[in-house]
Structure 1
């Protein structure tokens, strides 16, 4: 114990020096983190003010945050006397090993860059990718945040999105509703077609151009199937879909046109 106290007394100036340097390093790191957050927020606001897509602004802001934070760490290490040049060389060698171990994360980063460059979707678009569907909230360095219609948040790795087909339901201004309506073989086909057409004519959200299609699709096992294909604005797709399906059933019932259950005729032969 006495030897420790002697060492402390003999090295008081050195201890004070490194204590001050350590405190300064912590302050630099803390301030650097605050500056990184400030730069991230400032970048997002700047992109939003310029009318740039929110998802792009979020991605670039994340990169700015990572760069400023890394610079703060290097400055803090330099403050405590660690040679940053050699440290960077060590980091480079370690980075290679870590990169091989974290190929998935690097793939996510590369996929994020591709998303920003190719722009298959933007913030607010409703997409289906990687087996999941939702509205795009933001694109980050390694992942993309989706929100489902029932308000669930899905964090999708960027590589999962770019590794397969991407279906963007919001890019075009109009969409087509595809319905198959079956009626009984005993029904009057001309009357059934007129009823289906009247439902579409009475729905104000159905577009006149392109014109809708109502036609006999097939003579199926249990029914005669009509294809009903109206065009609507993308923003009104689901409300119009629900309304048309309901009104078709009501109008067919009102005109005594039957939608048959699946059925099978069985013939018995007695020897």
Structure 2
């Protein structure tokens, strides 16, 4: 009686309720294949996305990628795959997805236009870490600065120069510009120039320099150091001295070679010709 009273009060006919219920059951039965297939795709997709994400992470770890970039890339991949799965899910439910895709495209375009510089630096960071033109600890020259790579971040690369100053170089310009890596080969050549007067015996001076190079244990025997005439100027003979050294010994070899050559020349009575800047001549 109470149930009938409530139905009566709501002005609902019991026959209408029966019709609604039968219609709902019919629609549910007709729609159940799509519903079941959509949820099967959803659960299978989530499991597949998890496997793909785990596989990509392991591949990036094997390639010794930066941990920060590894996590960032895997998270981006995870959410991109989830969005694609969601679009597929609602499409299988029979919901129109064209408007939804258009909204996503407009949002992506707006975000891309507002973050052009940041996205360029991000892409540059990925290229640097993927192709590895340099690593942490390498000494490089790029964008007019020289320093040792301290950290490769997503948007910038941090360098420490000889004065212990920290330099942040945007990855976008860094990846698109010229990079000189002084550490990649493991050893370097010092290019020195020593000027002597025209009164000096060239062979004697070259022999003295060669003895200096051979007596320094920090100078590599292979490749062989070179001593040759570089240039004949108006007031001096310029000798090119090119010793090779390991990266960690490069600075010491550079300064020790100059000092030892000067001391050896003094002992042999050879005067090092002072540098004279040649003034440009203008034809009258």
The TM-score with structure 2 as length reference comes to 0.62
Deviation of 1:247 (Å) = 1.0
Counterpart check, 1:133 vs 2:146: yes
Q: Report how many aligned residue pairs link the two structures.
A: 203
Aligned to 2:166, which of 143, 153, 164?
153
Deviation of 1:109 (Å) = 1.2
Aligned to 2:178, which of 161, 165, 171?
165
Per the alignment, residue 69 of structure 2 pairs with 59
Residue-by-residue CA offset, 1:95-141 (whole Å, 9 max, x unaligned): 42231132111111111121122111111111111222212222222
Per the alignment, residue 249 of structure 2 pairs with 236
Aligned to 2:227, which of 206, 214, 225?
214
CA distance in 1 between counterparts of 2:63 and 2:116 reads 34
Deviation of 1:181 (Å) = 0.8
Quickly say closer, same or farther: Cα 1:264–1:99, change in 2 above 3 A: closer
SS in 1 for 2:273: coil
CA distance in 2 between counterparts of 1:194 and 1:87 reads 80
CA distance in 2 between counterparts of 1:120 and 1:178 reads 24
Quickly say closer, same or farther: Cα 1:264–1:58, change in 2 above 3 A: closer
CA distance in 2 between counterparts of 1:64 and 1:138 reads 20
Deviation of 1:68 (Å) = 9.6
Counterpart check, 1:249 vs 2:262: yes
Computing the radius of gyration over CA atoms, which structure comes out larger, 1 or 2?
A: 2
In the TM superposition, 1:59-208 aligns within 5 A as 59-63=69-73, 93-208=106-221
Q: Select the structure with the greater relative contact order (CA < 8 A; seq sep ≥ 6).
A: 1
Quickly say closer, same or farther: Cα 1:58–1:152, change in 2 above 3 A: farther
CA distance in 2 between counterparts of 1:123 and 1:177 reads 23
CA distance in 1 between counterparts of 2:101 and 2:165 reads 41
CA distance in 1 between counterparts of 2:130 and 2:119 reads 17
In the TM superposition, 1:8-87 aligns within 5 A as 52=64, 56-63=66-73
SS in 2 for 1:209: coil
Deviation of 1:257 (Å) = 0.8
CA distance in 1 between counterparts of 2:74 and 2:116 reads 22
Unaligned ranges ≥5, structure 1: 1-42, 70-85, 266-271
Q: Is the 8 A contact 2:195 2:274 kept in 1?
A: no
SS in 2 for 1:106: helix
Unaligned ranges ≥5, structure 2: 1-56, 80-98, 279-284
